[in-house]
Chain A
């Protein structure tokens, strides 16, 4: 049974406290959406969980039941692709993950097909549209078959059509059994994709609740204010 436990985690940069005494535990299964305004510390929190940043104090522990840290992958707000073909961007990631050479192409092609990108396999990744690149980033993460997938505002730069496509892939990754932990400041997206909501403000976990409860009756003043600020 997977568990990711944060205990009294704090992160300070340039004298500014970005994550402040935050404790939370994530287990397999439901989709966790970290919701909050810009600058609330959502992205930093994800980077701490993924290991790109080290907490200033507190601990982050993985417990996979078995041996070591389970495989996790991350999709960033802005996809970054190497100057090579779509397919080779995937096989590159698989190579880094230690997947044997013979299996890489087949696994990459499967992931591309799942993201609806197989027709673009030979194209150069850097010339794809923003939406296609983000789908490719999802395919790349999916090809790694992670236990946990972190997504940092994956649709913040995308138009509505591309957003819908990306959300569909996130949904499929979840259905295939990967634990999804994502940040967003988009309430509609949090409603569509969230099973549970973690509401963050000023680097603190203000409220955590099942999505339907959170949106119907937020318990904190901060969350209520954030929900009221929703644009039509």
Chain B
């Protein structure tokens, strides 16, 4: 065990190539997924927060429920859609990083949208009369409140990133864990552990944790500084 840890640190210190490749792909996939999820989830959440339309409550319940979507189920659905016989089969992107991005984005859109809805709705409660008094349309108000709650929303996007980078099931199914092509940190950890190559698994685990810690720490301190400055 201690030997495995020493060798894991050795891999990290030597900037092991396999390790860097895997970590790099993980980052690319999860950052792309979180970018897409933010582009979709932030406006969606704000629209539900500010809008008044039939089925709004149902939409909120569904979004909240989908925050806990099991990754393997999302993986299965994306797999079915992208498989040769599926509706998106002709794209030919199953077992590529793109498929993994789609799966992770689907997984975290509900998280980003649901939390955004909560935050923007609280802000809307505070600002509604004033914004309506100034003549803001619902769409304009939604955009203004997205900007007004930007510090809280960074945490939301980070939560999405955390979920995307940490999940195994979806990327395993749609990516296939192909060495050098679709192998990311989580699938590699699962594989190497089952093979008994604990040093690489441990090293990847350390990278994953460090990465998530760094991101969250920077987001926390940026948000704190901003809160002090902007109130």
Footprint of B on A, CB under 8 Å? Answer: 47, 50, 52, 73-74, 76, 80, 82-84, 92-93, 96-97, 124-127
Which 8 A-B residue pairs are closest in the complex by CB-CB distance?
Answer: A126-B231, A127-B231, A80-B130, A124-B230, A83-B148, A96-B134, A96-B135, A74-B133
A87 CA / B126 CA spacing, docked (Å): 20
Cα-based distance from A92 to B130 in the complex (angstroms):
12
Q: Which of A52, A80, A92, A127 is in CB contact (< 8 Å) with B230?
A: A127
Contact of A92 among B126, B129, B132, B144 (CB under 8 A): B144
- B143, chain A: closest CB distance, angstroms: 11
Residues of B within 8 A of A82 (CB): 127, 144, 148
List the count of A-B residue pairs having beta carbons below 8 Å apart. Answer: 45
A52 in contact with B148 given A80-B126, A124-B231 (CB within 8 Å): no
Main secondary structure of the interface of A (DSSP, over half): mixed
CA distance A82 to B230 in the complex (A): 9
Chain A residues, CB < 8 A from B147: 83-84
Query: Which of B127, B140, B151, B231 is in CB contact (< 8 Å) with A96?
Result: B140
Most buried by B among A74, A80, A124: A80
Residue of A nearest to B150 (CB): A83
Contact A52 B132 (CB under 8 A): yes
Question: 5 A-B pairs, CB-CB below 8 angstroms?
Answer: A76-B129, A82-B144, A83-B147, A126-B230, A126-B231
Interface 1/0s, chain B 124-168, versus A by CB < 8 A?
001101101111100010001001111100000000000000000
Residue B52 at the chain A interface, CB threshold 8 Å: no
Summarize B's interface: helix, strand, loop or mixed. Answer: helix
Partner of A97, one of B130, B132, B135, B230: B135
Instruction: For the complex, give the distance between the alpha carbons of A124 and B227 in Å.
Output: 10
A18 to B133, CA, bound (A): 21
Bound-complex Cα distance A7 to B133 (A): 22
| Interchain nearest-CB distance for B123 vs A (Å) | 9
| With A83-B149, A83-B150, A126-B230 already in contact, 12 other A-B pairs whose C-beta atoms are closer than 8 Å | A52-B129, A52-B132, A80-B130, A82-B144, A82-B148, A83-B231, A84-B148, A92-B134, A92-B144, A96-B134, A96-B135, A124-B229
Contact partners of B126 in chain A: CB under 8 A: 80
**In whole angstroms, what is the CA distance A84 to B149 when docked?**
11
Given the known inter-chain contacts A80-B127, A82-B148, A83-B148, please indicate yes or no for A52 contacting B133, CB distance below 8 A: yes
- Nearest chain A CB to B120's CB is how many angstroms away? 13
Report how far A76 CA is from B134 CA in the complex, Å: 12
Chain B: CB-nearest residue to A74: B133
What chain A residues lie within 8 Å of B129 (beta carbons)? 47, 52, 76, 80
Residues of B within 8 A of A83 (CB): 147-151, 230-231
| Distance between Cα atoms of A124 and B231 in the complex (Å) | 7
User: Which residues from chain B contact A80 at a C-beta distance below 8 Å?
Assistant: 126-127, 129-130
A50 to B134, CA, bound (A): 11
Could you tell me the distance in whole angstroms from the C-beta of A121 to the nearest C-beta in chain B?
15
Cβ–Cβ contact B230 & A73, under 8 A? no
Chain B residue with the shortest CB-CB distance to A124: B230
B231: chain A residues at CB < 8 Å are 83, 124-127
